Copies of this chain bind each other. A is one copy, B any other.
Amino acid sequence: METKKYTFSTEIKVRDYEVDVQGIVNNARYLHYLEHTRHEFCDSIGYSFRDMHMQGYDPVLSRAEIDYMTPLTLGDTMVSCLNIRRRGPRYIFQQDIYRADGVQVLRALITVVILHDGKLSRGDELQSAFGPYLSNNDR
């Protein structure tokens, strides 16, 4: 886990209620971790989800691709990392989650578009906030 190659990373501890009857974190919970990581990133650059929402901008998912590699379980802590790039109206988050010991848990590509008062926007409003953090490298 070389967090240096990511624009942002945050540590998240598994909460015991997130673990299902199979003894592993339920597959849907990872979408929550991924969303929480994106929102923590927005917080960190001073433009929170709350601010966006108050101004009428709502980021919504248009596509998610997730490879589940190693499950998390009770007591685990993860490091959740992201890079961003832009393709026209779409912001694409490349997100990786690692267990505290460095084993990769998941990799995801999350495509987000921005609604403005409920309608699809061109995404230009977020350019000033996200611009300095956009990367060009595809994977």
Establish whether residues A60 and B53, one from each chain, have CB atoms under 8 Å apart when the complex forms: no
Establish whether residues A68 and B62, one from each chain, have CB atoms under 8 Å apart when the complex forms: yes
The interface residues of chain A, by DSSP majority, are classed as: mixed
A37 shortest CB reach to chain B, Å: 10
Residues of B within 8 A of A15 (CB): 32, 35-36, 39
Q: Interface with B: A19-27, A97-105, A126-134, which one?
A: A19-27
Residues of B within 8 A of A74 (CB): 21, 48-50, 53
User: Can you add 9 more A-B contacts, CB < 8 Å, to A16-B49, A17-B20, A62-B68?
Assistant: A16-B39, A17-B32, A31-B31, A49-B74, A50-B74, A60-B71, A63-B67, A64-B68, A65-B65
